[in-house]
Chains A and B, each alone.
Chain A
Amino acid sequence: MSSDSSSWERALVQISPYTFSAIGVSVLDAAWGIFITGSSLIGAAIKAPRITSKNLISTESGAFDSYYMLKLLLVELARLGVIFCEAVAIYGVIVAIILQTELESVPTSQMYAPESLRAGYAIFASGLIVGFANLVCGVCVGIIGSSCALSDAQNSSLFVKILVIEIFGSALGLFGVIVGIIMSSQATWPAKA
């Protein structure tokens, strides 16, 4: 019934907006960062198996389920206490929960009132900001993690130095989260008349 040109439009409109919220894009880029680091890590670990434990700090993949991995993760967490690529997905979860609490339903008479529009757009924009800031953060940390794995395989004194660069990279996601939270906290819905 509908012509070809409008089918994409219909699809986009019919998809629930929750998909595009902070968590959708954040998880995408956490995954992106993890695969960038992970593929280099696997290859480099063939010649230098010792690098796998330290470099898991970079990937911190939640998909591994064995007891050994969990134990290793706890040890590494206790030692350094920092999570990188996975942190990006965690930021997304945090902001999604916060935005969820900000949402309120508005009576139909006030649906297009300026105040309710402002609140709606503020929450939407906050989700977009967090999502895309985490996108670049995840990719950045992933690329640095890949270089970290390769250089650690050659010379183990380089690991901590490149880890510092990764910390600066993950600050990008943090900036996005801060801005997103500030924006969404100002979303005030109109009082129910």
Chain B
Amino acid sequence: MYGWEMLSFNIHDGFLEAIVRGNRSGLLTAADYNNLCQCETLDDIKMHLTATEYGPYLQNEPSPLHTTTIVEKCTLKLVDEYKHMLCQATEPLSTFLQYITYGHMIDNVVLIVTGTLHERDVNELLEKCHPLGMFDSIASLAVAQNMRELYRLVLVDTPLAPYFSECITSEDLDDMNIEIMRNTLYKAYLEDFYKFCQKLGGATAEIMCDLLSFEADRRAVNITINSIGTELTRDDRRKLYSNFGLLYPYGHEELAVCEDVDQVRGAMEKYPPYQYIFSRISYGESQMLDKAFYEEEVKRLCLSFEQQFHYAVFFAYIRLREQEIRNLMWISECVAQNQKSRVHDSVVFIF
């Protein structure tokens, strides 16, 4: 029941919630980002980062630094914190924390399958996988030839197994099918996560369902824009949209028939939360759309910290960390390629 969770939440999860809130205070602030944006070389960036919470992870790196090293070490910090929380969590928080990583698992699976298709080495691909989404038999994904084999050999033992029922076909894997597979899996994952949060009830359900609806809507818009001009039919496109969210079902009808970005804009402007996003982008431009969506997401994630005694703070913290790592990657790349004027194009400030 909404409101009565305050009485018993702290028995199992009070300690972890307090830890998450402590970790949140270690996120980089606008002042940190300003310092980082003014760096000239990657060594300067490393020096600034060692003064923040990333210190222990970066200070032992040898001097010719690579942007991928910085990103890898920062991701390692996130993974350490996540594992620390996961090993102390009890049900249902432990299931919730595991749900957060299924998105990364899907990305890793698609990465390996695509890489195998283009004949890359398996070990090289494994290094590029996101550490939060690793599972045991991931290396044997390289052996599969079509989706049925993929499922039978590897994925039936993973938590992703129930999401495959919608997309098992005997077709061979090629680029288009892999993208469709990725989006179908992600759709099933989001719907499953949504149902799980609703079952939890209380403040968790309310806040998580809002965050997940935004995620579903954002993916719908991205799928629409990315599939304009490809051979994806309208019915196929509609099958990739999730069955919840603000845009379900009428927005999906409109998005399914869009043929260019302006039509998408027209369809989205009927929804007040998204109208604000689209009004900040001038006509015909879709590059800034990503940044606008990220900013909106960060705003909603920060709002979830305003309330106590629910699980959405864990989800929000991990997402905010990922956004921070994306920011660091962008800044490092701009500095490394000497294009500092473009640094502010894609950095989303969290505070």
Contact = CB atoms under 8 A, between A and B. Distances in A.
The CB with the most chain A CB atoms within 10 A, among B14, B19, B25, B26, is that of B14
Give chain A's interface residue range (CB within 8 Å of chain B). Answer: 20 to 34
B15 A47 contact: no
Nearest to B12: A39
Given A147-B308, A154-B25, A39 B7 contact: no
Given A143-B6, A147-B308, A150-B308, A40 B25 contact: no
For the complex, would chain A's binding face be called helix, strand, loop or mixed by DSSP majority? helix
B16 interface: yes
Contact of A139 (B7, B15, B19): B7
A42 B308 CA distance: 16
A56 to B, nearest CB: 16
12 contacts: A32-B7, A35-B10, A36-B7, A39-B15, A40-B18, A41-B18, A43-B16, A43-B17, A43-B21, A47-B22, A150-B21, A153-B18
A32 B23 CA distance: 27
Nearest to A155: B25
A153 B22 contact: yes
Given A39-B18, A46-B22, 20 more contacts: A36-B7, A36-B14, A39-B15, A40-B10, A40-B14, A40-B17, A40-B18, A41-B18, A42-B15, A42-B18, A44-B18, A44-B19, A44-B21, A46-B19, A47-B19, A47-B22, A146-B10, A146-B308, A153-B22, A154-B25
Contacts of A69: none
Contacts of B23: 47
| Most B CB within 10 A of own CB, among A43, A44, A154 | A43
B87 interface: no
Contacts of B6: 36, 143
Contact of B18 (A35, A143, A149): A149
A181 interface: no
A48 interface: yes
A36 B18 contact: no
Given A43-B19, A46-B19, A146 B14 contact: yes
Nearest to B308: A147
Contact of B21 (A32, A41, A154): A154
Interface string A31-73: 0100110011111101110000000000000000000000000
Contacts of B7: 32, 36, 139
Contact of A43 (B11, B22, B25, B26): B22
Interface in A136-158: 139, 143, 146-147, 149-150, 153-154
Contacts of B18: 39-44, 46, 149-150, 153
A43 B15 contact: yes
Contacts of B19: 43-44, 46-47
Given A143-B6, A146-B308, A150-B308, A35 B22 contact: no
